Amino acid sequence: MRRITICVAVLLALVASSTAQAQQKKEIVWGAPNAISSYYWDVLAAIELGYMAEEGLTIKVVNNDNPVQNLQYLATGAINITSITIELALSAIEKGADFKFLASENDKLAFVFMTRPEIKRYEDLKGKTLGVTQLQESTASLIRLLLEKHGVKRNEYQFLALGGTPNRFAALVRGAVAGTMLSPPFDFKAQAEGMNRLGTALEAFDGLGVAFVAQDSWAKANADSVVRFLRAVVKAQRYLYQPENKNKAVEILVKYTRQPADDISKNYDAFYGADRIMSPELDLTDKMFQPWLDLRNSSEKPERFIDRSYWKRALGR
């Protein structure tokens, strides 16, 4: 009887400990604008590999089609941290939004400029309609810079605001637009539909790609959770940058994107290989941020928009 009593006591203690640990876990709502894509490989890996759980976090993923809507969710507290391209968040801060850039996720831009099969050269785009997310957003700015580099002026084509990557992909394949920037791995999907790979954002602009953004007030009130989130993502980036982990990396992204493994494998070779798109240590430097300010002819300094304190704590710096 005494032995049974001891076993029951131990079991109850284990259950109580497990319950306490579960209660201590902090939920962070993470927003991914547009379709889940290669841009967010690190966060997805941090979830799948258990790094978020190790940091005492549970992550609720909120995916939406429109980055503007994503920032609205952030402003209202519907999401806590978002991964987003720079220009929209920068514009929102300039207009008074309580946002801060926390760390780099993609050190470089990975957009691929895809066109209809009949568009063989940049000059073929004159008089055509091109799909963008919003009229004043990164895809529009990057298309403008890329076409200017190849001698096509802004008044020689039109923009059509379509929202996120899935919408732009569909419009391109249907022929509603002659070209658009697509997020990997949708570029390979478009190629399979006969579209042309005409260029990349990297050819026209050297600046930060995707960054983590949060409400400044929320981040300050939840500093420990922000630090743990970034620490988990750094662990994932380091894991993903090890070539021997490629197969697991591909498996993770296939699960979330439901895209062919061969396409994801090619993305890995670019994102964690030749192009080194993803940020190995999440370090968001002034040098990486400054090109976006220059593009807007802004006299502001990067420190107005960036709070690196959480990143420093996450890496023990």
128-138 per-position pLDDT tens digit = 999 998 887 78
Q: Which of 23-32, 54-63, 174-183, 233-242 has the lowest mean pLDDT?
A: 23-32
The phi-psi region of residue 228 (left if phi > 0; otherwise alpha if psi is between -120 and 50; otherwise beta) is alpha
For residue 9, pLDDT over 80 is answered with no
Can you tell me the mean pLDDT for 64-83?
A: 90
pLDDT for residue 103:
98
Share the mean pLDDT of the chain: 90
Contact assessment for residue 209 and residue 181, using Cβ atoms and an 8 Å cutoff: no
pLDDT for residue 16:
42
For residue 88, give the nearest of 111, 68, 109, 72 by alpha carbon.
Answer: 68
174-199 per-position pLDDT tens digit = 999 999 999 888 899 999 999 999 99
Contact assessment for residue 205 and residue 145, using Cβ atoms and an 8 Å cutoff: yes
pLDDT for residue 8:
43
- Which pLDDT band, with edges at 50, 70 and 90, does 6 fall under? very low
Residue 306: beta bridge partners? 101
Contact assessment for residue 98 and residue 129, using Cβ atoms and an 8 Å cutoff: no
Can you tell me the mean pLDDT for 200-215?
A: 94
Q: pTM for the full model?
A: 0.87
CA distance 278 to 31: 18
10 Å CB burial of residue 29 (0-12, 13-18, 19+) is middle
pLDDT for residue 74:
95
For residue 98, pLDDT over 80 is answered with yes
- DSSP string across the chain: -HHHHHHHHHHHHHHHHHHHHHHHPEEEEEEEESS--GGGHHHHHHHHTTHHHHTTEEEEEEEES-HHHHHHHHHHTS-SEEEEEHHHHHHHHHTT--EEEEEEEESS---EEEE-TT--SGGGGTT-EEEES-TTSHHHHHHHHHHHHTT--GGGSEEEE--SHHHHHHHHHHTSSSEEEE-TTHHHHHHHTT-EEEEEGGGT--S--EEEEEEHHHHHHTHHHHHHHHHHHHHHHHHHTSGGGHHHHHHHHHHHH---HHHHHHHHHIIIIIS--B-SS----HHHHHHHHHHTT----GGGTB--HHHHHHHT-
pLDDT for residue 308:
98
Q: Given CA atoms 158, 190, 270, 120 in this order, what sign does their dihedral have?
A: negative
Can you tell me the mean pLDDT for 288-314?
A: 96
Cis link prior to 185 (omega < 30° from 0)? yes
Place of tokens 């260029």: 199
For residue 122, pLDDT over 50 is answered with yes
Contact assessment for residue 88 and residue 211, using Cβ atoms and an 8 Å cutoff: no
- Which pLDDT band, with edges at 50, 70 and 90, does 36 fall under? confident
Contact assessment for residue 275 and residue 112, using Cβ atoms and an 8 Å cutoff: no
Domains of the chain: 25-108+208-315 (3.40.190.10), 112-203 (3.40.190.10)
pLDDT for residue 66:
76
82-95 per-position pLDDT tens digit = 999 898 899 999 99
For residue 24, pLDDT over 80 is answered with no
232-274 per-position pLDDT tens digit = 999 999 999 999 999 999 999 999 988 899 999 999 999 999 8
